[in-house]
A and B are shown apart, each in its own frame.
Chain A
Amino acid sequence: MISLAGRDILHAWGKFVFTGLGLGLLIGVTLSMAGIYRGMVDDAEILLDNSGADLWVVQRDTLGPYAESSSLQDDLYRGILTLPGVARAANVTYLTMQVGQGDRERRAMVVGVVPGGPGEPGQPRFLVAGRHITQGHYEAVADLATGFRLGEQIRIRRNLYSVVGLTRRAVSSGGDPMVFIPLKDAQEAQFLKDNDAIVHQRQRTLANPALNRPGQPGVLEAVLASQTVNSSVNAILVRVAPGADPDAVAGEIRRWKRLTVHTRAEMNEILQAKLIATSARQIFMFLVILSVVSAAIVAFIIYTLTLGKIREIAVLKLIGTRNRTIAAMILWQALGLGAIGFMVGKIAASLWAPIFPKYVLLLPGDAARGFGIVMIICVLASLIAIRAALRVDPAEAIGG
């Protein structure tokens, strides 16, 4: 049997290729949308991975540092360290804010970590350049997505920090890149009032006779000093000892420290179900619409291509070609179009994914599923065209 499909494609290969390209771009958009959805879910998981924690200890009855504000005294971790099953515990602060570099500003999640060395809870998991923070102050490790370079000076509130290391894929659940700085600086950036607020507070305290008591020098100074000190952190990251049950350790902390503790599964649930659920649902809805539209367009294209050569099909029928051969020609052409479209789409999605402002994660599993769906759509779409072709009256070849 001679491949009619191949001959027909060769006959009008330009049309075929360009149709495949157009279809591919559409599939590329669909794949990208799926990639964005996967990226959002991945952002949430990466956030948990990057923290390097098994348990998140937060303020009572709060959802933790990522979903709700939480404030704890920074010496609570010592008590937690004494509990059985706790291997490591480290304070951490999170604050999404503007970080300045020269004239430009970037939105970033500033993470305050204890500079205890690599691998400690809260520290960046891996670096793509530079080194970890070694000093207790004024050093930063930034994510590549911030656009900062090694050695640059960045401004967080009133202080300047040197970028000493770069990470990759250290992002918040909202996709903001992270900037890691020493905990004490982060506490200052997050909790210390700005200079104007301090001056105003001083004036109010001065005017208050209960605090500025005549004949008692020293009281005012003590009150002012106490107003500008804050020793809070957002959460305590706990890593359990090898072999210990995270749920049991969490139960101990809840019972004896009277704090709220989230395990990895609970934190994942908070991030997935509460934080990104709405956005993810929107993206998913777009994905479904795009898939339906793509399917419809594939069907239209194949149907139009078939109708375009209806006279030739009539001739084929007239010379006695079997229906199966004609149906196979259309099916193979549809599958070929689908294959070209998928390849073009995958290439396009891979090439433009890094340009997207959102993280696009193209999973091989998604690509395989996408290929299968494209092929099924092509088969289904070709059925309509096949039906139209088979109903052609051979007389049209003459009478037309």
Chain B
Amino acid sequence: MRLPPLTRRALPLLGFLVPLGATFLWLALTTGPLAPVLVTLTTVTADTITPTLFGIGTLEARYTYRIGPTFAGRVSRVEVQVGERVKAGQLLGEMDPVDLDDRVAAQEAAQRRAEAGIEAARAQTDDARARREFATAQVKRYEQLLLAKTASEDSVEAKRQESLVAKAGLQAAQANLASAEQELNRVRAEHEALVTQRANLRLLAPVDALVVSRDAEPGSTLVAGQAVVEVIDAEQLWVNARFDQLGAGGLAAGLPARVSLRSQPLLIHAGEVGRVEPRADAVTEELLAKIVFAPLPDPLPRLGELAEVTVLLAPLPPTPWVPNAALHRRDGQLGVWRLEDNAPRFVPVERGVADRDGRVQIRSGLSVGDAVVAHSRSPLGPHSRVQVVASLPGVPQ
């Protein structure tokens, strides 16, 4: 078959067919599986990497005091409201003493009675001592009379017996006095115990503090250990932060930290790691640390508020790095696609630490100046045709 000679009439048809064929070919080669994979490259450079750790936590008070009665009772009055600042020793509330005041009065009376008992015992002692002295003197006189044969042996014996009786009477009186003194001590101690108990019903602030909750109102009955008010040391707030155990080995006390509170996400507060808890959370697989503010924000942040914490670890000396987007795992090996003669080749690498911006330290496998694939439009393989572009089309920049 012979095609008709190219005439003027054929031009419009060719004008349609040629662009159509060209478009068809172009689309076949640029879209679909036949098209080369578009990639962007990055060059391995050496730079300082500052690894960071990111954690979240809640704001807590370092010292919390839950103030309540030491035994069951009814709340008589509560003197403070939530949000008030109190001084050390200030009265916060009081428990109902019930019959305690009457018992104190009874103990006072008992104490006075014991004092009177001492007086009586002392008088009895004096009386017995006087009797004994007289009886002793009588014995001496009758013994002299016996020598002079003016008194009988019987009367002397009688005086001696009287003297012994007087001595025994004195001893009994002295024992009575000691007993009365011990009784006074007992009654006094009981009185003091009741007074202490009475004072214990007064709920006092242990330190300068901020009242954060008022858990019972007058009239409520509480058991021992239940709180009437809760106060905190408002100068000592910290963030109880949790860090994923993965890569958190460098977490240590004293590292600088940045704290951002949920209520003010854009405001960054300075702080530092106060301490790293010796015990990690086994269930959530997180390390726990306390982040202290330096200085404390004003106004005071709210307890229990969520906080984001970024801890800056010590910067590493300049080291080769690649963005983490360039790393891929292939057949169990971690590596990057390096471009060699415009063909991708998978190069296994050993990674080190990474920072928050996704820069990963490369310990081995790459050297400074190597060109590696940063992003690709589809997964790469060893036989992929690639085309390097400055930025992937269709990706919003």
Which residues of A are in contact with B by a Cβ distance under 8 Å? 1-3, 6-7, 9-11, 13-14, 16-17, 49, 52, 75, 87, 114-120, 125-132, 134-138, 144, 149-150, 160, 164-166, 168-169, 184, 215, 217, 231, 239, 241-242, 328, 340, 343-344, 346-347, 350-351, 362-364, 367
Q: Which residue of A lies closest to B31 (CB)?
A: A350
**A-B pairs with beta carbons under 8 Å apart, 20 shown:** A3-B2, A6-B4, A10-B4, A10-B7, A16-B13, A75-B283, A114-B246, A116-B246, A118-B327, A118-B328, A119-B327, A131-B324, A134-B355, A144-B394, A242-B332, A340-B17, A343-B21, A346-B27, A347-B23, A351-B27
Report whether B332 and A87 are in contact in the complex, using a CB–CB cutoff of 8 Å: yes
Closest chain A residue, CB of each to CB of B12? A13
Name the residue on B nearest A165 (C-beta).
B325
Within 8 A of A (CB), among B206-259: 223, 225-227, 243-244, 246
Top 9 nearest A-B pairs (CB, nearest first) are A119-B329, A131-B358, A135-B54, A136-B244, A118-B327, A127-B325, A13-B13, A149-B396, A343-B24
> B194-202, B271-279, B374-382: which lies at the A interface?
B374-382
A128 adjacent to B31 (CB under 8 Å): no
Q: Indicate whether B305 reaches chain A with its CB closer than 8 angstroms.
A: no
Chain B residues close to A by CB (< 8 Å)? 1-4, 7, 9-10, 12-13, 16-17, 20-21, 23-24, 27-28, 31-34, 54-56, 223, 225-227, 243-244, 246, 265, 283-284, 308, 323-325, 327-332, 334, 351, 354-358, 375-380, 392, 394-397
Say how far B238's CB is from chain A's closest CB, in angstroms.
19
B342 CB to nearest A CB, Å? 19
Q: A242-B331, A364-B34 are in contact. Are A115 and B4 (CB under 8 A)?
A: no
Contact residues in A for B16 (Cβ distance below 8 Å)? 13, 17
Contact B357 A168 (CB under 8 A): no
Contacts of A184 in B (CB 8 A): 244, 284
- A128-B395, A347-B27 as given contacts; A134 in contact with B13, CB under 8 Å: no
Query: Which residues of A lie under 8 Å from residue B331 when comparing CB positions?
Result: 242
Q: What's the Cα separation between A74 and B27 when bound, in Å?
A: 48
- Shortest Cβ distance from B31 into chain A, in angstroms? 5
With A136-B244, A346-B27 known as contacts, the answer to whether A130 contacts B4 (CB < 8 A) is: no
Q: How far is the CA of A86 from the CA of B39 in the complex (A)?
A: 33
CB distance from B321 to the nearest CB of A (A): 12
- Specify which chain A residues have a CB less than 8 angstroms from the CB of B334 in the assembled complex: 118-119
A137 touches B56 (CB 8 A): yes
CA distance A370 to B308 in the complex (A): 57
CA of A114 to CA of B376, assembled, Å = 23
Shortest Cβ gap from B122 to chain A (Å): 52
Identity of the chain B residue whose Cβ is nearest the Cβ of A168 in the assembled complex: B377
Q: How far is the CA of A16 from the CA of B12 in the complex (A)?
A: 12
The one of A10, A87, A130 in contact with B325, judged by C-beta atoms closer than 8 angstroms, is: A130
* Residues of chain B lying within 8 A (CB to CB) of residue A138: 308
Pick from A14, A126, A149, A351: contact of B328, CB under 8 Å: A126
Residue on B nearest A147 in the bound complex, by CB: B396
**A137 close to B54 (CB less than 8 A):** yes
The interface residues of chain A lying within 8 Å CB-to-CB of B27 are 346-347, 350-351
If A17-B13, A136-B55, A346-B27 touch, does A128 touch B392 (CB 8 Å cutoff)?
yes
